[in-house]
Homo-oligomer: A and B are copies of this chain.
């Protein structure tokens, strides 16, 4: 059974990270059996090194940078890190499961994260403080320290307040509006980019929706707004993928 390495939190089900959700969605979508091993932020690097999980990029000082998600597949012996690489690995290794790159669309889907992240960058000033709020103590301290260094301000300074919060939230809606315009071109055949068929890019978008919902909770006003935006596009997408949000 595949081992899936994820970062825990205080929420029921523990899973919260949009990046690990991308790979978890793929495992659930394909129905490949797996179990989760939870690793707090400060333990990711030593644990990955010990397991010989490959780093996903390099730090500013040139040292290898280790991130989750990662998987270990005892059947092949493979250790794979980074969500798209995991999706590619599972697609190749388990060809009889539902495809996340149907019609050989991997090459078309590979750059999807770039425009999506460009439009949704404005969300992170809300999402990073919200994520900090659900982490366990060892991860919360690590997350605050590294993110504050990265943004050059405290998490409290990062989170917009008052009128600026309204303005910045309107930009999130505008960014999601750009993404919804891509969805509107699907011929009205379903809630997915390819119409009736879910694929990697939908799971990618849904990972950010799940991240919002988990870190804010369903009663949060902003979450209710997201579910009403763009003719209910995001509500319909999440409803269609809800069955793949289980945590094993």
Contacts and interface: CB of A to CB of B under 8 A. Distances in A.
A185 B200 CA distance: 14
A6 B102 CA distance: 36
Interface stretch (A38-46, A152-160, A186-194): A186-194
A93 interface: no
A111 B182 contact: yes
A108 B118 CA distance: 16
Interface in A5-54: none
Q: Dominant SS at the A interface?
A: helix
B187 A108 contact: no
Given A114-B114, A114-B115, A115-B115, A187 B104 contact: yes
Residue of A116, A185, A199 most packed against chain B (CB within 10 A): A185
A183 interface: yes
Interface in A200-231: 201
B194 A103 contact: yes
B107 A108 contact: no
Residue of A102, A105, A186 most packed against chain B (CB within 10 A): A105
Interface string A93-116: 000000000111111111110111
A186 B107 contact: yes
Interface residues of A, number: 29
A168 interface: no
A185 B115 contact: no
A109 B108 CA distance: 7
A181 interface: yes
A195 interface: yes
A13 to B, nearest CB: 30
Given A88-B185, A185-B88, A111 B115 contact: yes
A194 B110 contact: no
A182 B115 contact: no
Contact of A111 (B102, B112, B186, B189): B112
Interface in A108-139: 108-112, 114-116, 118
A193 B115 contact: no
Interface string A156-197: 000000000000000000000000011111110100011100
Given A104-B186, A104-B189, A105-B194, 7 more contacts: A106-B187, A107-B184, A107-B193, A107-B194, A108-B182, A114-B114, A115-B115
